[in-house]
Chains A and B, each alone.
Chain A
Amino acid sequence: MRGRMMASGAEGNPRGPKLEDGSQVAVIGGGPAGSFFSYFLLTMAQRIGVDVQVDIYEPRDFSRPGPGSCNMCGGVISESLVQALAVEGIKLPPTVVQRGLDSYFLHMDVGSVRIETPLQEKRIGAIHRGAGPRGLQETRWGSFDGYLLDLAIAKGARRWPQRVEEITWTDGRPHVKPQGGTSQPCDLLVAAVGVNSAALKLFTGLNLGYQPPQTTKTYICEFFLGQEVVNRYLGSAMHVFLLNIPRLEFAALIPKGEYATFCLLGQEIDKPLVQSLLDSPELKRCLPPNWHVPDDFCHCSPKISIHSAVHPLADRVVFVGDCGTSRLYKDGIGAAYKTAKAAAKTALFAGVSAEDFRQHFWPTCRKLRADNRIGELVFAITRQIQKRTFARRGLWRMVSKEQQLQGGQRRMSTVLWDTFTGSAPYREVFLRALHPSFLSRFFWEILRGSLPLHKTGAQARLP
């Protein structure tokens, strides 16, 4: 018979609770954060020979199209996450990735420009979180969340389709009560419920000191265009709109299979704001001339976190993904991967006490939080550029010239690429934008662009 084995590391809190053979881990939420946590915990546990049981509670059926299976987000897997997953051995197959993206078009009133990846390789994945939008006739691609959940299940996690209706604390251990079931004790409770789920309330009443992240509303909708139109008009590029429309921060049109996902970020997004963007010539240029907004389409206004949660850890409890710490505006799935893996490593190699999570999990969250503060500055500067025609023209001129040149430093292109795709930390983006060559070039192009002869913009060729 196998002896009781503990997965404690030398650095863990020696008196704190540990995961050992037979330990039960309850994961509330089977989105990317919950599935990544389960996958990595089980992978690492198998490597060191510790037998833990992971139960994922996820009521959504990711095989059914429509809002019921969707975790509501733009559905872009960043370049850096695609690469990290490839190294981890997690393949993102064409049955899940609806379109690999190799470039993006930046659309402004002064002109449009295409920015390509240096290797002209499709390294950004456009996916649907669920099985697809409401009204989908034929399911040709699978759900990204469903795919990750299946990977966790293949590693040995058990999936329970019930909603958790109560979490209690007895004998120093959390107890999870699923709908219609009995209360089950666990050694570790992992909250991976996002910021749009009612399950978040289960944790706020536990007196853990946890406060959910501050959020803002976004707007996401899905337009059916058909694969031919998507290929012809949007191609393998994400279309980003930097327009001087009040309250609009940023908008993007993301091609996916037969659909295009339209995402808006801004303050108090309402119907008139959405309509003003849909009526803009910049957006209309990306779509067929006879295209009009359909009467009925799948849309949602999900919340996204803009500040991290307070105390996303406690004894035997850890919060991963959006309900804990995420990235500002971009690469939320990448942040879920990072926090989930950090939590899994801590739980297995250090322990599951609050002190263990503070020492080994919290630094990952702290780093994301610090980077988000720089991100706020990056987006504040972007907003200032967005509001000023001369700055937009200078930016457009600089990027256009960089894209026409073979080789050479593509400073503005790289800064914009990393800002809008979320491929690099905001700190790196900011430092690159402070480079004297970047600034002098940008100011020179602003100056040149302000001269009457140079004011005319041009449109890049759409695919």
Chain B
Amino acid sequence: MTTEALGKIYHDGDVIVRQGEMGDCMFVIQEGVAEVLQRKEDKEYCLALLSEGDCFGEMALFEKEVRSATVRARGEVRVLTVDKKTFLRRVHEDPSLAFSVLQKMSHRIRDLNAALNKALGRRSSLR
């Protein structure tokens, strides 16, 4: 991975965002893979794998809540940060800029619904 490219390079195992911390930016993966992890009690669950073009941390742009999950580099990953202020100023000027983010959030809801249905199906089959 070239160090001269745009963004910042994280190495295998580097934490890009940490669950529970406040955030004021979102991230767009330019190259490589990152894993989304959620800690419940003492266990860590991998919720998703993100790759080139995927964004994460976008919830911080719309609400003042702590990060809901940890995102960690799986191998080398190059990530570009989008500031909340820059994003919101641009969206105010051109609301259509939010379309891609909305589209990605919509896909995420669809994926979560599918995962939830799968989990519920598994639970009912166990009964």
Binding site for B on A (CB under 8 A): 44, 47, 79-80, 82-84, 86-89, 91-94, 97-100, 119-123, 125, 236, 338, 341-342, 345, 364, 367
Contacts and interface: CB of A to CB of B under 8 A. Distances in A.
A125 B80 CA distance: 12
A367 B93 CA distance: 10
Interface string B16-32: 00000000000010100
Contact of A94 (B5, B53, B97): B5
B53 A83 contact: no
Nearest to A124: B6
A121 B7 contact: yes
B52 A87 contact: no
B8 interface: yes
A399 B87 CA distance: 27
B86 interface: yes
A239 B28 CA distance: 28
B6 A89 contact: no
B100 A87 contact: yes
Given A87-B97, A87-B100, A94 B86 contact: no
A87 B102 CA distance: 11
Nearest to A227: B4
Interface in B67-126: 80-83, 86-87, 90, 93-94, 96-97, 99-101
Interface string B40-80: 00000000000011010000000000000000000000001
Interface residues of B, number: 25
B5 A83 contact: no
Contacts of A100: 4-7
Contacts of A87: 28, 55, 82, 87, 90, 97, 100-101
A335 to B, nearest CB: 12
Contacts, number: 77
B8 A91 contact: no
Nearest to B99: A47
Contacts of A338: 93-94
B87 A92 contact: no
Given A82-B6, A97-B6, A121-B7, A91 B53 contact: yes
B30 A91 contact: yes
B90 A80 contact: yes
A119 B81 contact: yes
A87 B90 CA distance: 10
B4 A236 contact: yes
Nearest to A341: B94
A125 B97 contact: no
A342 B95 CA distance: 11
Contact of A84 (B6, B52, B90, B99): B90
Given A83-B82, A84-B90, A94-B2, A121 B8 contact: yes
B87 A83 contact: yes
Given A86-B30, A91-B53, A236-B4, 8 more contacts: A80-B86, A83-B86, A84-B86, A86-B28, A87-B82, A87-B100, A88-B100, A121-B7
Contacts of B81: 83, 119, 121, 123
Contacts of A99: 4
A125 B5 CA distance: 8
Contacts of A93: 5
A122 B5 contact: yes
Contact of A122 (B8, B96, B97, B101): B8
24 contacts: A44-B96, A80-B86, A80-B90, A83-B83, A83-B90, A86-B30, A87-B55, A89-B53, A92-B6, A94-B4, A94-B6, A97-B4, A98-B4, A99-B4, A100-B7, A121-B7, A121-B80, A122-B5, A122-B7, A122-B8, A236-B4, A338-B93, A341-B96, A342-B94
